[in-house]
Amino acid sequence: MIDAADEAMIAEQLGRVPRGAIEVSSRCPSGHPNAVKTEPRLPDGTPFPTLYYLTCPRLTGAIGSLEASGLMADWSQRLTEDAELAAKYQAAHESYLAEREALGHVPEIGGISAGGMPTRVKCLHVLVGHSLAKGPGVNPLGDEAIALLGDWWGNSRCAAGWVPDVQADA
């Protein structure tokens, strides 16, 4: 369950009320949410394969810059050439599916994880969200992306102690 203060922060970050979020799965070093775990079916009935959804605009912007660099095509190619990396990425896919399935069975997304897993790299946002939520060693390409991001949150209003101008209902 997400508390009212976190929900208000996430709404400020997203510019809208979060949908299907059930917990904060990762926080930036200043303590603000940067990823949430979501239900596999949104409240309106829409199937939602993204188990870990990033909420921090600074983080999502930094990941967008990585995606624009062409990195995903290079990493997809690496998956075809590096059997050890492909096996670890397959394991990440299976872990992701099992965790999402534990929240509820949604036949429309059965067997489909997110981010391109297990055979390609389609969305670094998903892979980073997975790595932030589960910690290092679970999603190898999410871990690599986090390493490339470096100090993504530094010198931001968040690092300076920013608190959104919203009032959460208790």
> For the segment 86-120, what is each residue's pLDDT rounded down to a tens digit?
999 999 999 999 999 999 999 999 999 999 999 99
CB-CB contact of 25 with 87 (8 Å) = no
Position 168 scores a pLDDT of 37
- Average pLDDT of span 81-90: 98
Q: In what order do the strands lie in the sheet with 33-38?
A: 21-27, 33-38, 52-54
Q: Does residue 170 belong to any structural domain of this protein?
A: no
Q: Does residue 15 belong to any structural domain of this protein?
A: yes
pLDDT digits (tens, 9 = 90+) for 32-66: 899 999 999 999 999 999 999 999 988 999 999 99
Residues 128, 115: Cα–Cα separation, whole Å: 9
Q: Does residue 141 belong to any structural domain of this protein?
A: yes
Nearest to 146 by CA among 21, 34, 46: 34
Query: 67 falls in which pLDDT band (50, 70, 90)?
Result: very high
Position 152 scores a pLDDT of 76
Q: Does residue 36 belong to any structural domain of this protein?
A: yes
Residue 121 has pLDDT above 60, yes or no: yes
Q: Does residue 42 belong to any structural domain of this protein?
A: yes
Token pair listed for 6: 């976190």
Helix extents (H) in the chain = 4-14, 57-68, 71-81, 83-103, 124-134, 140-149
Q: How many domains does the chain have?
A: 1
pTM of the model: 0.90
Q: Which domain holds residue 81?
A: 4-149
Query: 169 falls in which pLDDT band (50, 70, 90)?
Result: very low
Q: Does residue 159 belong to any structural domain of this protein?
A: no
Q: Does residue 157 belong to any structural domain of this protein?
A: no
Q: Does residue 155 belong to any structural domain of this protein?
A: no
Residues 109, 163: Cα–Cα separation, whole Å: 36
